Structure 1
């Protein structure tokens, strides 16, 4: 369970615990022996999605444990060029541009239009029911933060703030811990 920084320093100094960092850089303390108690607090995770940023909070009744202000990968802004090559949308635009130039090089323009070598489309990729790559990258990043933090904090419930929804719950959609563990 969450502890105070001074108590964690004492544990590390006395050899009762070691300090570790997880994949997203959060420092935590790992006990080297069995804890004195096994009671856990009810910890709720709240997420608030935005277009370029996402807020994620891990909170118990007593205190806010950790807050994340995640800069989403689909929206890194570059001031150098109009087309942003660092963002997901910029990369997809650049990929399409390169593909168009490659396809244009294969065409023999000296031959009549009907006799030119145009490649048929290999499969029907014109469906419009898939998730855009930028949105998918953003949601995967949020999920990665939730998974990594749930390894060190016992999460009991995940609450996702979304626009619209049930008016009885003030427009918030709740995901119970059981459903969330199936998603992971």
Structure 2
């Protein structure tokens, strides 16, 4: 997850953790220098200031959040009518996998495939292939209890990451509305497939 460096506004909260209207970077620096506020960072790494004195007003303008969802990346923008407050370029954990270093985190789909591979290996080690097939230690086939109406783990992790960003930012920015991009349905020409972006929307 990366944050755009061209931030035009700095979030502001009162000492009771009530979000106020964001201010300019110059004014926030002035507040910190004179002891009127202290600078902090939230859990997603966004810098904000917390006022130690009574603010001049509690009125806020309309702040809208826009999300541009993709399969491996999602863009999130917080802005008002006059300025952009903060921009996010989130690398989603469901499908995204960095090839720069071996120590980089794996995608959720890769972890699920590895878990399936290890499970098949463990099951194969319990079979005695020296005896007849019907005498081997095979578990009888049960009913199919694995197909349920659930969101795949990769897509669920993506949506939860986006929700965490919105939740943390709502604590320091008075959000008025959240707008999400409307994704299409069937993506294959035969109409038999649905895009991973659309699932769980």
TM-score normalised to the size of structure 1? 0.81
Question: Aligned equivalents of 1:80 and 1:10: distance in 2?
Answer: 41
Work out whether residues 78 and 86 of structure 1, in 8 Å CA contact, stay in contact via their aligned partners in 2: no
Residue 111 of structure 1: aligned partner: 131
Alignment of 1:117-156 (within 5 A): 117-120=137-140, 124-156=144-176
Question: Aligned equivalents of 2:97 and 2:86: distance in 1?
Answer: 24
Question: Aligned equivalents of 2:105 and 2:51: distance in 1?
Answer: 44
RMSD over aligned Cα atoms: 2.2
- Residues 139-181 of structure 1, C-alpha deviations (whole Å, 9 max, x = no match): 111000000000000001110002249xxxxxxxxxxxxxxxx
Give, in angstroms, the shift of residue 125 of structure 1. Answer: 3.5
Structure 1 or 2: more helix by fraction: 1
Which SS does the other structure have where 2:54 is aligned?
A: coil
Tell me: higher relative CO, structure 1 or 2? Use CA pairs within 8 A at least 6 residues apart.
Answer: 2
Give, in angstroms, the shift of residue 34 of structure 1. Answer: 2.1
Question: Aligned equivalents of 2:105 and 2:84: distance in 1?
Answer: 36
Give, in angstroms, the shift of residue 110 of structure 1. Answer: 1.5
Give, in angstroms, the shift of residue 79 of structure 1. Answer: 6.5
Give, in angstroms, the shift of residue 30 of structure 1. Answer: 0.4
Aligned length: 163
Residue 70 of structure 1: aligned partner: 90
TM-score normalised to the size of structure 2? 0.75
**1:109–1:46 CA distance, 2 compared to 1 (3 A):** same
In structure 1, the gaps of 5 or more residues are 166-184
In structure 2, the gaps of 5 or more residues are 1-20, 186-201
Give the ranges of 4+ consecutive aligned residues of structure 1 lying more than 2 Å apart after TM superposition: 77-81, 119-126
Q: 1:55 aligns with which of 75, 82, 103?
A: 75
